[in-house]
Structure 1
Amino acid sequence: MGTKDLTFVQLNQLIGRKTGGISVYPFTSSIRGKEDPCSHIIVRGKSMAGRADDLFNLINCVLQEVQFTDQQRFKQFVSQSKARMENRLRGGGHGIAAARMDAKLNVAGWISEQMGGVSYLEFLQALEEKVDNDWAGISSSLEEIRKSLLSKEGCLVNMTADGKTLSNTGKVVGKFLDLLPSKSLVERASWNVRLPSNNEAIVIPTQVNYVGKAANLYNRGYQLSGSAYVISKHISNTWLWDRVRVSGGAYGGFCNFDTHSGVFTFLSYRDPNLLKTLDIYDGTGDFLRELKMDDDTLTKAIIGTIGDVDAYQLPDAKGYSSLVRYLLGITEEERQRRREEILSTR
């Protein structure tokens, strides 16, 4: 979609010439210890120090000046998004399964599934047909959504740069904030909704399966410790690797523990089995109860876990990670405590 003065192509070319790219996407996550999720629209961009003014002007252009009038361009966006989701369903079904299970267990998962899971695909399929029949209604809805999302109230700016650049761009950031509406036109709402908590099978045109199983450990009284990172890493690298991938013939078998929501998830990738894989997941408890690890194996598991927790990041990734930690209320003291718990795992 273009603006009053720029076509869609011209706007994208301008962004490419003056910045390192601009992206807009939703961010939703559970917050440990809280029922309400953290939900934001995140706008990310990067540029050379001397182009900071251009970067913020273009971000404002993308957010406030784009016109929802090009019906064919919008339909193209919808069709492309639908095709990507259909390809993801066939080639990345483990991610779809994880999102679906998460939506049954917490509100943040439900929101994310609505914007990136099977529910989103169903929405896109309906929207593609609606574009031809009710474009005026869709255009009006898009404008209403923009007015409800954008406001200076609650806006948070996170910049990563050297001290001189940060000092020089203060006025630029202030100008950007002044251009935003003072407050949203809609009241903030709280949601308490999940998908029905029942077993589910989604039929897709492939000869392999993506098998998942999940549960919320916090609801069962578990208190978070850094050792959980080590344990989940070891389960993926030994039990699931040997049973699901090597013996079972799947391309991958792994588990993940979301420490924000407490959801522990088992997943397999391009798996020829179904019930057999679920039996392996169910056998994980016995595997852990009977587990005997020598010091060398435990040390390798700890080193691998620390490598994931403190992975190398470029400056932009460091800045983004600090923003996410701020939004989720994760302090440096807590991070250090988790490191110590990981290193002291026995």
Structure 2
Amino acid sequence: MSRVSNALPFFALTTAGLEAISAQELARLPHITSQTLSYRRLSGTCQGDLASLCTLRTIDDVFLELATWREIGRPRSSLEWLRHLAFALDLHEAVAHLARLRAIRRFPQFSLSVSFVGKRNYTSEEIKEVLAKVLEYTHRGWLYQRDDRQADLNVRVFLEQDVATVGVRISKTPLHDRFYQQVHLPGALKPSVAAALVMLAQITSTTTVLDPCCGSGTILIEAALQGACACGGDSNPTAVAAAQTNVTAAGVAVPIFHWDATSLPQACASIDRVITNLPWGRQVSVETALPVLYRRLCTQMRRVLAPAGRLVVLTHDPALLDPLDVSCVEQIEISLFGQRPTILVFSPTSGKNVKGDQ
């Protein structure tokens, strides 16, 4: 791991499509320099406290950068090349930095995470097997742990084309694993994506936030943790119970209601921000046809939205959205659970039309 003027190199992984949003959040931290963006990845150097990197909300995971390996081809012979490169990998200096943040055993257990884009003549599991054997040999007393939850350290290999970026996770667990997630439901939104929606909503400590289709409550919790006065509900009693449990675990005051989102109880023009992950009819079934449901939801969301409000929606069917007299000012396609949903930001100010809406 190279160091220049006490600057520690790092890289962070985010959801595909959210790279620019995560870069904005990262830029707010002090002592962060030399940011570069690529597919799902941001990199830079940290000259301050590494703990600040663990406060990022839109990031999935963050790592101290250990090495950059090149000429990693598609043939199976690349496994031997990876084995050769791994012998030069030394985790001791990185662990010394991490030990200032959290307790790490003298002879830690380590897990391995490997990801790559495109087809290769070997698998991520085969890469793990090669690297595990080398690291156990070069780091005497260290043990490979297949279960990341039981490991003290996670070594990450992010392979893009013929270049592999290697790092060790700064936090004990991935940043997208939130402590408040006590109950998980099908279709639940990844917390880092929920945080990105909240960031796009541009909230402040005096902002009122509504999620009319709250599911297990992730958007509301992320908004409340950033200081907003949030409330929401769902038509599914199971989702309402899950959201209430997660809200309690998060330690935030967020009322959760069992309601019909097409007939909201809020007064007209009473909500500063409406942020929601609309039903897609995939992981969560809906009884009403999506065009009809979306039209009814848009009518209600627009009715309760304040004159200078902002509406942020995640949906798989952006062309179905018609929030009346507000305009789409930002549109971002992301990759999520094998789907390509779209984030749309609406505002009363002039903007651009939604794709597919002629």
TM-score for both structures, normalised by structure 2: 0.27
Per residue, is there more strand in 1 or in 2? Answer: 2
Per residue, is there more helix in 1 or in 2? Answer: 1
